[in-house]
């Protein structure tokens, strides 16, 4: 009998410990178990980052430079890219950082020219990593009230531009024996995102494309890491768009930690990585492993989340679980 009691006591302790680890985690179990970047997977590698002019992309550039990567920085705003490059001096030899202006919505012709230029920027080296980080701002609109312009721009940048760039770059990677795509998706690409339906749709599309690409070409050396962050505090301190200059009411992972975990995931060649605090992380687990429960939960909070977004309240609060939506 005392043996049985001891067994249950140890079991309860272990369960408690597991719950505690889960409650304080900022990434999925596989990701946080990796702990450190594999430096040798990054050092001296050529990394092309889109969306490097601010936010997570800028922080990725800084951390990758510290790890000794050669960088190609892309976005539309060249002045901001120059600023980022100037801030990298001292972390890396200036020659190791190139700027390549790029508009993902500019169509396949100009993306082809950009790829041709990118592969020639470090003669003798190919592109080892393509970090697809750029995205159109995350417009808050319901599934029905999205404007045609928002719909088109979101898909042109997040989906069509990103996929076209991939189609154009992959043959060069195959020729050099392989390459690694790191795709900045979102928790909104794994779970419904009430109030951000179009953004969510664009990220689900990326997940589908890149998991398929990997399964077609993995044996030929093409790797894919899809990163799905929940709310992240970007460099402007808002975590939303640069135009909304207001502190977010939500608890967000810092852009530094998001970039660090992204590089850890890529250097360990994880196929997918989730980055977030609670309550997003358990919802992602529920939707992935118990979809009926996960979707039931999202249906319960969806209307209230849209209302919270309209009032600029916390859209990730546990409180959304209680009470009724005014529109239901």
What mask of x and - would describe binding to ligand NAP in positions 265 to 284, judged by CB under 6 A? --------------------
Verify binding: residue 80, ligand NAP, rule CB under 6 A. yes
Among 9, 15, 77, 171, binds ligand NAP (CB under 6 A): 77
Q: Which is nearer to ligand NAP, 267 or 315 (CB)?
A: 315
Our answer to whether residue 199 is catalytic in this structure is yes
| Helix, coil or strand: residue 73 | strand
- Tokens 């969306």 -> residue: 51
| Helix, coil or strand: residue 74 | strand
Verify binding: residue 102, ligand NAP, rule CB under 6 A. yes
Calculate the alpha carbon distances from 136 to 104, 105, 153 in Å.
10, 10, 7
What mask of x and - would describe binding to ligand NAP in positions 143 to 182, judged by CB under 6 A? --------------x-------------------------
Q: Which is nearer to ligand NAP, 56 or 217 (CB)?
A: 56
- The minimum distance between CB 10 and ligand NAP, in angstroms, equals 39
Candidate list 129, 136, 199, 277, residue with the active-site label:
199
CA atoms of 204 and 198, how far apart (whole Å): 10
DSSP letter assigned to residue 193: -
Verify binding: residue 135, ligand NAP, rule CB under 6 A. yes
Stretch that binds ligand NAP, among 39-47, 64-72, 129-137, 167-175 (CB under 6 A): 129-137
Verify binding: residue 111, ligand NAP, rule CB under 6 A. no
Among 154, 234, 267, 315, binds ligand NAP (CB under 6 A): 234
Stretch that binds ligand NAP, among 29-37, 46-54, 107-115, 302-310 (CB under 6 A): 46-54
Q: Which is nearer to ligand NAP, 76 or 91 (CB)?
A: 76
- Nearest CA among 123, 134, 112 for reference residue 70: 123
Neighbour-count burial of 155, counting CB atoms closer than 10 A to its CB (0-12 exposed, 13-18 middle, 19+ buried): middle
- The minimum distance between CB 293 and ligand NAP, in angstroms, equals 23
What six digits make up the tokens of 158?
A: 């997040």
Are the CB atoms for 121 and 40 separated by under 8 Å?
no
CA atoms of 40 and 38, how far apart (whole Å): 6
Verify binding: residue 244, ligand NAP, rule CB under 6 A. no
| CB-based burial, 265-279: b 16+ in 10 Å, e otherwise | bbbbebebbbbbbbb
Among 34, 76, 140, 251, binds ligand NAP (CB under 6 A): 76
CA atoms of 123 and 131, how far apart (whole Å): 20
- Nearest CA among 198, 197, 195, 253 for reference residue 227: 253
Contact footprint for ligand NAP (CB under 6 A) = 50-51, 53-57, 75-77, 80, 102-105, 133-137, 157, 184, 186, 229, 231-232, 234, 239
Catalytic (active-site) positions: 199
């Amino acid at each position: 009998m005392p043996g049985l009691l001891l067994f249950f006591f140890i079991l309860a302790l272990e369960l408690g410990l597991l719950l505690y680890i889960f409650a304080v985690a900022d990434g999925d179990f596989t990701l946080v178990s990796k702990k450190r970047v594999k430096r040798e997977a990054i050092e001296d590698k050529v990394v092309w980052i889109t969306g490097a002019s601010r936010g997570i992309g800028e922080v990725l550039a800084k951390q990758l430079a510290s790890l000794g990567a050669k960088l190609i920085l892309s976005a539309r705003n060249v002045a901001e890219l120059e600023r980022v490059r100037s801030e990298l001096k001292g972390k890396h030899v200036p020659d190791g950082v190139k700027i390549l202006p790029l508009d993902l919505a500019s169509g396949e012709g100009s993306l082809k020219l950009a790829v041709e230029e990118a592969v020639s920027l470090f003669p003798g080296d190919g592109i080892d990593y393509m970090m697809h980080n750029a995205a159109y701002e995350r417009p808050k609109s319901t599934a029905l009230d999205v404007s045609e312009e928002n719909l088109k721009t979101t898909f042109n940048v997040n989906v069509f531009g990103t996929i076209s760039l991939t189609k154009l770059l992959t043959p060069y990677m195959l020729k050099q024996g392989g390459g690694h795509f790191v795709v900045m998706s979102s928790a909104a690409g794994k779970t419904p995102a009430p109030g951000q339906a179009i953004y969510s749709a664009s990220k689900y599309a990326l997940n589908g494309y890149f998991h398929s690409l990997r399964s077609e070409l993995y044996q030929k050396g093409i790797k894919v890491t899809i990163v799905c962050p929940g709310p992240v505090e970007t460099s402007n301190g808002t975590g939303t768009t640069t135009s909304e200059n207001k502190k977010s009411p939500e608890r967000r992972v810092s852009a530094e930690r998001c970039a660090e975990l992204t590089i850890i995931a890529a250097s360990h060649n994880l196929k997918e990585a989730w980055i977030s605090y609670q309550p997003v992380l358990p919802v992602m687990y529920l939707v992935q492993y118990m979809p009926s429960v996960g979707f039931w939960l999202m249906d319960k909070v969806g209307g209230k989340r849209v209302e919270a977004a309209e009032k600029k309240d916390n859209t990730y609060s546990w409180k959304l679980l209680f009470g009724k939506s005014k529109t239901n």
